[in-house]
A and B are shown apart, each in its own frame.
Chain A
Amino acid sequence: MPARAVVRNTWEHFAHGADIGVRGVGPTKADAFAQAALALTAVITNPAAVHPVTAVRVACEAPSDDILFADWLNALVYEMSTRRMLFGAFVVSIDGARLTATAWGEPVDPARHEPAVEIKGATYTALIVAPLDDDHWLAQCVVDV
């Protein structure tokens, strides 16, 4: 019996011209979405520097996994923009076409967070939601900054 691969939750950025790609990897689709959300925050600031003071509920629904992923990130961009908050922790649940999540964060503190850029939205460019291997999911797209 082959050894089970080490389960990992990771995020990273990838290059795209003047903008930037966000990528999340996790043992489930929902975990990959949560990791990509950390990558989203990391475009602006260090996610570890965001205190989980306030919980914000997010819900979205879409006909496919990739559209759901773009909608998820855009919902976070909207919450960040209208609440003037940053988020540093996410719990995501996906049931078929519906996503529900809780994002924890705090109001932007320019002196402490030193926000680098403002994200305008998630795009369909380099948009992928797919199993990466037998043990992991990948979720990624380019975000417009």
Chain B
Amino acid sequence: MDLLSLTRTSETEWRIEPHGHMRVPGILYGTDALVRDMDEKVYQQVVNVATLPGIVRAAYAMPDAHWGYGFPIGGVAAFDADLGGVVSAGGVGFDISCGVRLLSTGLHVDDIEPVKKRLADELSRSVPAGVGSIGRVHLDDPEMNAMLAGGARWAVDRGYGTAADLDRIEEHGCMSGARPEAVSDHAKRRQCDEMGTLGSGNHYLTELVRRAFARLLPRAALTLLYDVSHNTCKVELHEVDGRQRRLFVHRKGATRAFGPGHPDLPQAFAAVAHGLDRMEHLP
């Protein structure tokens, strides 16, 4: 990216001044080297996002932003529902609620080294993956709706996880206000066979991974350290210019960064801040 097209506002913050149809500025975070290495298309996509109705404050790009569909990956933008704000599929990405789940084995690398090839083979056998694969979770309509409404709690109730997992998942693995009836039969049918597979599905794999480890490394704990989604659009309350506003916050390849004591942090992490992969904040 051409740094001359940006206004530098701090050592790691750069601004695209509003021009054309932009309603707000674009703000990019990164060192000289990171921003210089960004694709020029990131600039164009940030500019495009800044033109969308109801956008609040700015269109943001994280330090590793790169060319995506519509929004850049690593793009963050909030839209005010009361000002015609949009919910954009391009602001979430195809991998809706894709995220990062970190499990702690409790083992030392020396424990794993002798069996790592067998472990990889066991994981490959245990986790259905790729075109044509079928998961082991099959739901009828009522169960599909229960899953969509209940999220991770639904999975734990059916033995696909533990109650302790829930405290380590953002939002406890369940978005309140879910309306399964609003999801098309078309989408539900596609989801049906993809559950419990790696690829398009990517859901409910933890138990498969735990079982694979248990067969070879029975001492492995596989406790969930943290789980966070980085492709989301959530309704959130934020104070902007001294006023509480209900915003559609899009994070595409970006996660929230909670400071210490934030009410949405799991109790175990109450004293620390987090930002497991890409971080963002709304000023």
Contacts and interface: CB of A to CB of B under 8 A. Distances in A.
B196 to A, nearest CB: 15
Contacts of B190: 78, 81-82
Chain A contact residues, majority secondary structure: mixed
Interface in A97-145: 107-108, 110, 113, 115, 117-118, 120-121, 123-125, 142, 144
What class of interface size applies to chain B in its complex with A?
10 to 19
B-side binding surface: helix, strand, loop or mixed? loop
B130 A144 contact: no
Contacts, number: 50
A110 B193 contact: no
A84 interface: yes
A118 B67 contact: no
A81 B69 contact: no
Nearest to A125: B69
Interface in B162-218: 186, 189-190, 192-194, 199-200
Contact of B131 (A17, A108, A125, A142): A108
Given A81-B200, A120-B95, A144-B94, 4 more contacts: A44-B131, A81-B193, A118-B200, A123-B94
20 contacts: A16-B67, A78-B186, A81-B193, A81-B194, A81-B200, A86-B131, A110-B130, A110-B131, A113-B131, A115-B130, A115-B131, A117-B130, A120-B94, A120-B95, A120-B200, A123-B69, A123-B94, A124-B70, A124-B90, A144-B94
